[in-house]
Amino acid sequence: MACKLVILFFFVNLLMQIPKVRATVPAIVVFGDSTVDPGNNNQVSTVLKSNFEPYGRDYYGGQPTGRFSNGRIATDFISEALRIKPAIPAYLDPKYDIEDFATGVSFASAGTGYDNATSDVLSVIPFWKELEYYKEYQNKLRKHLGKDEANQRFSESLHLISIGTNDFLENYYIFPTRSSEYSVDEYQSFLIGIASNFIRELYKLGARKVVIGGLPPMGCLPLERTTNMFFGSDCIDEYNDVAKDFNKKLQGAVTELKQELGGIHLVMSSPYDKLMEMIRNPSHFGFEDAETACCGTGFFEMSYLCDNMNPFTCSDANKYVFWDAFHPTEKANAILADYVVKTTLAEFQ
């Protein structure tokens, strides 16, 4: 009899847990740059777009969506892994409405950064504007679901932030303004201050589950290797060191914020090591090339330079870590997402 009671208790407890697991993350809300922009820049007056072929050639229906990849991006795979939906729509895409956004939405804009000066370079959506769109989205969702249910949704949703590379490669190391104002160390602290304040604002708006991404080994992006051509097209160690230093500081900020903001579930996800692993040992992941990109010559093409008129684009993107000179292929995105889901996001499931 006692044994039957134990078994009964086990199954009752298991049944009670199932809806909790499924409801742990009802939606994914995304902020950031081209690594997580599914097409918001399509609606922006900027030269930084990717809503044309061959971008998206391996996406559903072979359609370019504005994602800077041959297919899906990492946040799409994360959403699918969490059993929400296979792709996260862009907030500014007129094809979608609040019903679609209720389970996931991205406010990200390719080319943007923490620093407002970074978004000015290519006239894209500044980071602060992404937060304004989020507030607008909250009002729409409250009307759609009702205030209480919507507020509950905000607290349970996973808020993902992926941004920062452009602040260095598109801004600090290109234009003299910031580099004359700040040392690299000071600029890192300046950006992390912006990141911290952004998370505080999300917290005030009801977000309780937040993941912020660190920087990748940006000195190994094909475009940066090309600028280092006279030195054998090796990775630029200085840029990689900056990324590693930034990530350490960001982790420190995350630790402080967890102590400051009661009840927040905040973690940092770093793509650095996994992407570097793919770059150093591509064959282990089934890749043949981690130095050049699939699109065009693979050395410098991105956005409009990567179009169907370019005769050099590869036939099989799965052989490459990078799709264009700045962004990973769908296959690489899937590997990165799988790593994040099994490590950083394991505690959210």
Residue appearing with tokens 């409801």? 23
Sheet holding 265-269, edge to edge: 104-106, 28-32, 158-162, 209-213, 265-269
Tell me the C-alpha distance between 154 and 26, whole Å.
9
SS3 content of the chain, % helix, strand, coil (to 5): 50, 10, 40
Which one-letter amino acid corresponds to residue 320?
Y
Which 3 state secondary structure label does DSSP give 32?
A: strand
Tell me the C-alpha distance between 98 and 105, whole Å.
9
Which 3 state secondary structure label does DSSP give 107?
A: coil
Kindly state the DSSP code that residue 294 receives in the 8-state scheme.
Answer: S
Kindly state the DSSP code that residue 111 receives in the 8-state scheme.
Answer: T
Q: Tell me the sheet residues that pair with 211.
A: 160, 267
| Alpha helix (H) residue ranges in 112-262 | 116-121, 127-145, 147-156, 165-166, 176-181, 184-204, 222-227, 237-260
178 CB-side CA count, 13 A: 25
> Of these residues, 34, 109, 157, 270, which one is catalytic?
34
Active site residue 324: yes
Task: Burial-class residue 61 by CB neighbours within 10 Å (0-12, 13-18, 19+).
Answer: exposed
Q: How far is CA 331 from CA 58, 89, 122, in A?
A: 10, 20, 28
Active site residue 284: no
Contact (Cβ atoms closer than 8 angstroms) between residue 19 and residue 73: no
Which 3 state secondary structure label does DSSP give 325?
A: coil
Active site residue 265: no
> Of these residues, 79, 109, 303, 327, which one is catalytic?
327
Q: What is the token pair recorded at 170? A: 């598109």
> Of these residues, 183, 265, 324, 338, which one is catalytic?
324
Rg (CA), the chain: 21
Catalytic residue numbers read 34, 324, 327
